[in-house]
A and B are shown apart, each in its own frame.
Chain A
Amino acid sequence: RKEVEQDPGPFNVPEGATVAFNCTYSNSASQSFFWYRQDCRKEPKLLMSVYSSGNEDGRFTAQLNRASQYISLLIRDSKLSDSATYLCVVIGPVSGGYNKLIFGAGTRLAVHP
């Protein structure tokens, strides 16, 4: 089983649509969870951290279900500029202060006019 699994998409949605991405992770001892965004041939950029209580940042809402080892990202009112690949990222159980990021393969979103 892959460490972090995502639906590769692509998700093709019109502007203004609501779209949801899902992700599962295999290691129940994983400590922290994130959504990153990656534009074509660019570096990953942190979109938001994911907490068990759920968290919202503008049009973006992230949820974590530790029991199901499931993470989600909801984007409301999609903009053309949201077109990118969304990466589910997990930090494995490490000690010592450093954070080994484990990436999913990403879900591609294409927002069209």
Chain B
Amino acid sequence: EPEVTQTPSHQVTQMGQEVILRCVPISNHLYFYWYRQILGQKVEFLVSFYNNEISEKSEIFDDQFSVERPDGSNFTLKIRSTKLEDSAMYFCASQGTGGEQFFGPGTRLTVL
């Protein structure tokens, strides 16, 4: 069964450093998403991406965040200058024509 994959599973970084979180969506899906979940809190929408551009972004997704689909298979989330409060689980999701979103296993980002 096709699945969404994410790398790395855990990323530790120093405050102020740039991180890139990687996702490989399901191959024939067209809509891609990033969500985050701070420990003990709810899952929050960050951004949706379709046809190589952002469809919608949340207030959390400020100028420090960017997304890219550089090669037609990977879907990346970049945080330019990480803050302590960026520590969270980041989930990638992809959606096909059926409408259901399939989530990857997540990347745990720890900012020290």
Contact = CB atoms under 8 A, between A and B. Distances in A.
Contacts of B89: 41
A100 B35 CA distance: 10
18 contacts: A38-B43, A41-B108, A42-B105, A43-B103, A43-B104, A44-B91, A45-B103, A87-B43, A96-B50, A96-B55, A98-B33, A98-B95, A100-B45, A100-B56, A101-B35, A101-B43, A103-B44, A104-B42
Main secondary structure of the interface of B (DSSP, over half): strand
Interface of A: 32, 38, 41-46, 87, 94, 96-106
A102 B43 CA distance: 8
Shortest 6 CB-CB distances between A and B: which pairs?
A43-B103, A103-B43, A105-B42, A98-B48, A98-B31, A98-B55
B45 to A, nearest CB: 5
B106 interface: yes
A100 B43 CA distance: 12
Contact of A97 (B35, B41, B50, B101): B50
Contacts of A44: 43, 91, 103
B15 to A, nearest CB: 23
B103 A103 contact: no
A98 B33 CA distance: 9
Given A43-B104, A44-B103, A101 B41 contact: no
B72 interface: no
Contacts of A43: 91, 103-106
B100 interface: yes
Contact of B95 (A41, A45, A99, A106): A99
